[in-house]
């Protein structure tokens, strides 16, 4: 997962410029004082050595203070980024959480409406998860959820697409610049990878919808959710497109 560091980079450049100006001012201060008082930068060799020593000592102190301040700022930035990561991440699966998903989906809908871009939404649910959880325990159920999250991360493009745990045993994936057929292919790879790893003991049902210009994020999500429930009604372990589309090549459960 990547986080926006553009603001941090601008702050670092500004801090470097301020530090440079401060170092120059501190460096010339002893010489400027002598020039103001006597009309020359130094009058004797002793004055020269005194000014050089004073300049060196001042610079060492300033550089030390800048170093300590920089380390403190970096530590604070690291803590801020970690808090940002935690606020966006589902603690169990380590992919994005529902809060971030809704935020990202709203942004993508706005972007697609403005730029006439295309993107798809994949919505998936683990078939029979409650029964599996009751039979094998919560630790086994948590392992399944983690596995789905990791498979999603492997199948999508880092820094481009957005995979999230929607809630419970439901997951969602925003696929940028992806039409319905390409989204179906990605969803099928996710379904098949999970099916093969679990030897068919537990499976995924998925629905896919493509953004239509002018619609809301809620409407897009509803269409993907409806397609997912249609997959469940047909026995699960399959991927279904939104209403009005048919792809026989994905009419399979193995």
What's the pLDDT at 2? Answer: 52
Query: pLDDT tens track of the chain, all 254 residues?
Result: 554 455 555 666 776 677 767 767 666 776 666 666 666 655 666 766 776 777 777 777 777 777 877 788 777 777 776 667 667 899 999 999 999 999 999 999 999 999 988 999 999 999 999 999 999 999 999 999 999 999 999 999 999 999 999 999 999 999 999 999 999 999 999 999 999 888 778 999 999 999 999 999 999 999 999 999 999 999 999 999 997 666 545 444 55
Measured distance CA(171)–CA(229) in Å, rounded: 13
188 and 75 assigned to the same domain: no
CATH of the domain at 206: 3.30.70.270
| Domain match, 18 and 120 both | no
Name which of 174, 151, 28, 56 is nearest 94 in CA terms. 151
- Quote the CA–CA distance of 25 and 22 in Å, as a whole number: 5
On whether both 62 and 150 belong to a single domain, the answer is no
Same domain, residue pair 80 and 115: no
Mark whether 140 and 18 lie in a shared domain. Answer: no
| Residue 151 contacts residue 190 (beta carbons within 8 Å) | yes
The pLDDT value recorded for residue 33 is 65
Q: Element (H or E) spanning 121, and its range?
A: strand 119-127
pLDDT at position 51, please? 66
What pLDDT, on a 0 to 100 scale, did the predictor assign at position 248? 45
Together in a domain, 113 and 82: no
Rounded to two decimals, the pTM is 0.69
> Does residue 120 share a domain with residue 51?
no
**Contact indicator for 171, 203 with CB cutoff of 8 Å:** no
226 and 175 share one domain: yes
Q: Are residues 204 and 163 in the same domain?
A: yes
Would you state the pLDDT for residue 48? 66
- The answer as to whether 93 is a domain residue is no
- Please check whether residue 1 lies inside any domain of the structure: no
Report the distance separating Cα 93 and Cα 106, nearest Å.
Answer: 23
Q: Which residue range(s) make up the domain with 216?
A: 98-250
Are the CB atoms for 126 and 169 separated by under 8 Å? yes
Both 136 and 218 in one domain: the answer is yes
- Of 61, 88, 115, the position where a domain reaches its end is 88
Q: Do 193 and 129 lie in a common domain?
A: yes
The domain total for the chain is 2
Q: Of 218, 2, 18, 21, whose CA–CA distance to 123 is shortest?
A: 218
d(CA 254, CA 240): 14
Statement to judge: residues 104 and 179 lie in one domain: yes
Domain endpoint, select from 67, 88, 109:
88
Query: Cβ contacts of residue 121 below 8 Å, gap of 6+?
Result: 105, 172, 173, 174, 175, 183, 208, 209, 210, 211, 220, 221, 224
């Amino acid at each position: 997962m990547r986080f926006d560091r553009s603001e941090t980079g601008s702050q670092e450049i500004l801090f470097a410029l301020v530090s440079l100006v401060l170092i120059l001012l501190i460096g010339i201060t002893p010489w400027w004082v002598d020039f103001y008082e006597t009309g020359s930068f130094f009058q004797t060799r002793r004055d020269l050595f005194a000014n050089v020593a004073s300049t060196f000592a001042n610079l060492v102190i300033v550089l030390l203070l800048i170093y300590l301040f920089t380390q403190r700022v970096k530590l604070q930035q690291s803590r801020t980024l970690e808090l940002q990561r935690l606020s966006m991440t589902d603690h169990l699966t380590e992919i994005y959480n529902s809060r971030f998903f809704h935020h990202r989906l709203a942004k993508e809908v706005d972007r697609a409406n403005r730029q006439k871009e295309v993107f798809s939404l994949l919505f998936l649910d683990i078939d029979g998860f409650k029964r599996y959880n009751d039979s094998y325990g919560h630790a086994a159920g948590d392992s399944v959820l983690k596995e789905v999250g990791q498979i999603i991360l492997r199948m999508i493009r880092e820094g481009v697409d957005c995979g999230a745990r929607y809630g419970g045993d439901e997951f969602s994936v925003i696929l940028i610049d992806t039409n319905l057929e390409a989204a179906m292919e990605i969803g099928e790879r996710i379904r098949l990878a999970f099916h093969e790893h679990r030897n068919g003991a537990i499976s995924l049902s998925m629905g896919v919808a493509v953004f239509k210009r002018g619609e809301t994020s809620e409407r897009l999500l509803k269409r993907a959710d409806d397609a997912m429930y249609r997959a469940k009604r047909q026995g699960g372990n399959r991927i279904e497109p939104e209403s009005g589309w048919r792809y026989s090549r994905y009419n399979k459960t193995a």
